[in-house]
Amino acid sequence: MRWKTVGIIGNAQTEGPGAPGQRVNFRYMDAVASIGAVPLIIPAMPDTQDIGHLIEILDGIVLTGARPNVHPRRFGHEPGPAYEPYDEDRDDVALALVHAAVEAGLALLGICRGMQEMNVAFGGTLYPEIRDLPGRMNHRMPKGETDPEVIYRPRHIVRVTPSGVFAEVFGTEEVLVNSLHGQGILEEGGRIVTEGWAEDGTQEAIRVAEAPGFALGVQWHAEYGAADDPVNRRLWEAFGAAL
CB 63 within 8 Å of CB 49: no
The total of other beta-carbon atoms located within 10 Å of residue 84's CB is 12
Q: DSSP for 38-103? A: EEEEE---GGG--HHHHHHH-SEEEE---SSBPPGGGGT----GGG--B-HHHHHHHHHHHHHHHH
- Crossing angle of the two packed helices 26-34 and 230-241, in degrees rounded to 10: 60
Pairing type for strands 215-218 and 125-127 reads unpaired
Answer whether the bond into residue 85 is a cis peptide, omega within 30°: yes
State how far the Cα of 217 lies from the Cα of 116, in Å rounded to an integer: 8
State how far the Cα of 104 lies from the Cα of 102, in Å rounded to an integer: 5
Q: Active-site positions?
A: 112, 221, 223
CB 200 within 8 Å of CB 171: no
